[in-house]
Amino acid sequence: MELGVVGLGRMGRIVVDRVLEAGHDVVAFDVDPDAVEDAAAAGATPAESLDEFAESLGGAGEAKRIWLMVPAGDPVDAALDELEPHLSADDVVVDGGNSHFEDSVRRAEACPARYLDCGTSGGPAGADLGFSLMVGGPADAYDELVPVFDAVATGPAGHDRMGPAGSGHYVKMVHNGVEYALMQAYGEGFELLHEGRYDLDLEAVARTWNNGAVIRSWLLELCEEAFREEGTDLGDVADHVAGGSTGTWTVQEALEREVAVPLIYQALGERFDSRAEAKFSRRLANRLRYGFGRHEVERE
């Protein structure tokens, strides 16, 4: 099978390598010419523009199969706008990025090709193992791309069709909400151990938990790695956490559906808080205690 890959960054490059390794052909494009050159060195056919990319796919009347792995939002629309004149109903476009599910539904309706929204989990660290793929969109397009999904995922069990357009990215959005809550839970547990009554080696704790404990997981293996590489105090790692868009979407959706997701909401709030220089609400509480109780105001 032949696959065109647009976006050759941390994730797209893994798609290229795994698809090539499975014996398929890859045509590769990125706005960064160095990324195209690297993919060509790995065995992909390079394209210098999206026009050249689209024209070199689907020779002899064959359908085009395209995997987008670009940042969510405008880059997806920009790539689709340029590809549109080259696409027909037999072709398949997969968006493997973290797009909002409503954008995916809109794009599926507008795209001349069959459109699959594919939530991708595993991250660059999952390059060797393969990803977990949550796919939404038409069943015939999904079935046609099974050889590609087998290659990019951990194997046949690492991908499935979730349902119609949008469902793949919907499931991935909720996955990320769960990711936030799990990170928060591990963070709180290790914080208590760090501040607690015993002088503990947190790498040893994580390693012990990872071997047979109820709470073992890949995130916990990453905790073990973090303590091993940074030290039990986490060295100079700052208490600022970036990101937040997929968690925000999860909470927005939960509010709209009237589903309580307090842990995910709390984890998202903690992430936002981590970025605040000084919390206005805490400063006001400090001053209010003087207001009602004449308690001393602590000043900077």
Ligand X SMILES: NC(=O)C1=CN([C@@H]2O[C@H](COP(=O)(O)OP(=O)(O)OC[C@H]3O[C@@H](n4cnc5c(N)ncnc54)[C@H](O)[C@@H]3O)[C@@H](O)[C@H]2O)C=CC1
**Pair of tokens at residue 191:** 């914080």
**For residue 148, what are its two tokens?**
């590609």
**What count of other Cβ atoms lies within 10 Å of the Cβ of residue 62?**
12
Choice between 123 and 291, CB closer to ligand 5RP: 123
Q: How far apart are CA 14 and CA 146, in angstroms?
A: 17
Residue 153 is given by DSSP the state B
Q: Report what 8 binds from ligand X, ligand 5RP, none; CB cut-off 5-8 Å by kind.
A: ligand X
* Residue 127: closest CA among 43, 18, 19: 18
Minimum distance between the CB of residue 72 and ligand X, rounded to whole angstroms?
4
Nearer to ligand 5RP among residue 88 and residue 245 (C-beta):
245
Instruction: Check: CB of residue 106 under 8 Å from CB of residue 128.
Output: no
Three-state DSSP state, 213: coil
Answer with the entry of ligand X, ligand 5RP, none that 71 interacts with (C-beta below 5 to 8 A by kind). Answer: ligand X
Q: Which of residues 111-150 bind ligand 5RP (CB under 6 A)?
A: 121, 123
Residue of 2, 172, 203, 224 with catalytic role? 172
98 near ligand X (CB under 6 A): yes
In angstroms, the CA 23 to CA 159 distance is: 19
The residue from 84, 179, 221, 270 that is catalytic is 179
Residue 48 binding ligand X, by CB under 6 A: no
- DSSP assignment, residue 25? E
Q: How many CA atoms lie within 13 A of 267 on its CB side?
A: 25
Residue 299 DSSP one-character state: -
- Alpha helices by DSSP H, 127-261: 139-144, 146-152, 167-195, 202-210, 218-230, 245-256
Nearest CB to ligand 5RP, comparing residues 45 and 121: 121
- Quick check: 270 binds ligand 5RP (CB under 6 A)? no
Binding-site residues from annotation for NAD(+)? 7-12, 70-72, 98
Minimum distance of ligand X from residue 173's CB (angstroms): 11
Number of H helices, E strands in the chain: 13, 8
Is 243 near ligand X (CB under 6 A)? Answer: no
Closest CA to 73 of 111, 48, 119, 107: 107
DSSP collapsed to 3 states, 14-78: HHHHHHHHCCCEEEEECCCHHHHHHHHHCCCEECCCHHHHHHHCCCCCCCCEEEECCCCCHHHHH
Which window, 21-29, 60-68, 106-114, 240-248, contacts ligand 5RP (CB under 6 A)?
Answer: 240-248
Q: Is 179 a catalytic residue?
A: yes
Determine whether 64 is an active site residue.
no
Q: Which of 33, 37, 78, 291 binds ligand X (CB under 6 A)?
A: 78
**Binding partner at 31 among ligand X, ligand 5RP, none, C-beta below 5 to 8 Å by kind:** ligand X
The footprint of ligand X on this chain (CB under 6 A) covers a number of residues equal to: 24
Closest contact distance (angstroms) between CB of 26 and ligand 5RP is 23
* Residue range at the interface with ligand 5RP (CB under 6 A); choices 65-73, 150-158, 239-247, 251-259: 239-247
Interface residue with ligand 5RP among 149, 247, 249, 265 (CB under 6 A) is 247
Contacting residues toward ligand 5RP, per CB under 6 A: 98, 121, 123, 176, 179, 243-247
Residues taking part in catalysis: 172, 179
